[in-house]
Chain A
Amino acid sequence: MMPDLGKYAEAVLSSYAVSIALLVVLVWMSLRRAKRVNKQLEDVESKVKRNG
């Protein structure tokens, strides 16, 4: 399954690991912020509606 990476295995694997980790963190943070802001906006909107 795993291709033979030879003597550079460490370099290739670590660069894939670093990049994918960075991308995952970026996506995860974007999604988390989106969810949080969505919820906050709903709260604020319902409050505004109630008040007037």
Chain B
Amino acid sequence: MNLNALWAYANPKKFIQTTDKVLPWVSVLAVVSLVVGLIWGFFFTPEDYRQGSTVKIIYLHVPSALMAINVWLMMLVTSLVWIVRRHHVSALAARAAAPVGAVMTLIALATGAIWGQPMWGTWWAWDPRLTSFLILFLFYLGYMALWEAIENDDTAADLTSILCLVGSVFALLSRYAVNFWNQGLHQGASLSLDKEENVADVFWYPLLVCIAGFVLLFIALVLLRTRTEIRARRMRALLARERMG
């Protein structure tokens, strides 16, 4: 037991030491690229000939939507790492990422609704993409609620990572089911390798900066929150040991 406990602390300690050095840089970079990207997008891009000024919403909508999905993927990977290798940092990183992903989903939904009102004439349509994001949001909520509900850290990590795996499969199924259920209003992905077809350069470069900003912000937040979770876990372990004797 004692040896195991020591080994378990070794890695998180290294994680905290490493992130001590990395975190300030990532945070600064995230803030800089977000500020540059959003200001560039907001003040210095022309209007689209069809969408008017609402095209500026793209700088928030596309990066947050991308992150909403990729955060879930990251949680899936870290959950797998936890199941296979039993690295505590991995499970805690998944826990740390979930609220960030939920907020990203919320931003994507909110900006989408605000954009849809003038463009489609409705705040909300039961369009496949919109509906899938709503379902994704529900998955995030369930995942976070399960983490909160279980007291034992290792049990919670095990259960949530299995939920994440099962949830991923069902989220994918829902995505296709929803596609089948209703043909949508939403345009195809505006980001792909052949970007010339979809987005003009004027909009493309600030969008890239914004995406980089969102990614960096996510990394900074996850590092910060994982550190918090590691410390909270260590604290609970210390308290438990003290109570034992």
A interface residues, how many (CB within 8 angstroms): 32
Docked pose: A22 CA to B105 CA in angstroms: 11
B interface residues, how many (CB within 8 angstroms): 37
Q: How far is the CB of A25 from chain B (nearest CB, A)?
A: 8
Judge if B53 is at the interface, Cβ distance under 8 Å.
yes
Judge if B64 is at the interface, Cβ distance under 8 Å.
yes
Judge if B13 is at the interface, Cβ distance under 8 Å.
no
Given A8-B52, A16-B38, A19-B111; 17 other pairs, CB 8 A cutoff: A3-B42, A8-B118, A15-B110, A19-B60, A19-B107, A22-B106, A23-B107, A26-B221, A27-B217, A30-B221, A34-B227, A38-B231, A41-B231, A41-B232, A44-B235, A47-B242, A48-B242
Q: How far is the CB of B34 from chain A (nearest CB, A)?
A: 8
B110 lies within 8 A of A19 (CB): yes
Judge if B49 is at the interface, Cβ distance under 8 Å.
no
A8 lies within 8 A of B225 (CB): no
Docked pose: A34 CA to B52 CA in angstroms: 42
Interface of B is mostly: helix
Known: A8-B52, A26-B103, A30-B221. A15 touches B235 (CB 8 A): no
For window 10-52 of chain A, which residues contact chain B by CB distance below 8 Å? Answer: 11-12, 14-16, 18-19, 22-23, 25-27, 30-31, 33-34, 37-38, 40-41, 44-45, 47-48, 51
Residues of B within 8 A of A (CB): 38, 42-43, 47, 52-54, 56-57, 60-61, 64, 99-100, 103, 106-107, 110-111, 114-115, 117-118, 217, 221, 224-225, 227-228, 231-232, 234-235, 238-239, 241-242
Chain A residues within an 8 Å CB radius of B238:
44-45, 48
Q: List, sorted by A's number, 17 A–B pairs whose CB atoms are closer than 8 Å.
A: A5-B53, A5-B56, A7-B52, A7-B118, A8-B52, A8-B53, A8-B118, A11-B57, A12-B56, A15-B110, A16-B56, A16-B60, A23-B107, A27-B221, A37-B228, A38-B228, A47-B242
Number of inter-chain CB pairs below 8 Å:
93
A12 lies within 8 A of B235 (CB): no
Chain A residues within an 8 Å CB radius of B54:
8, 11-12
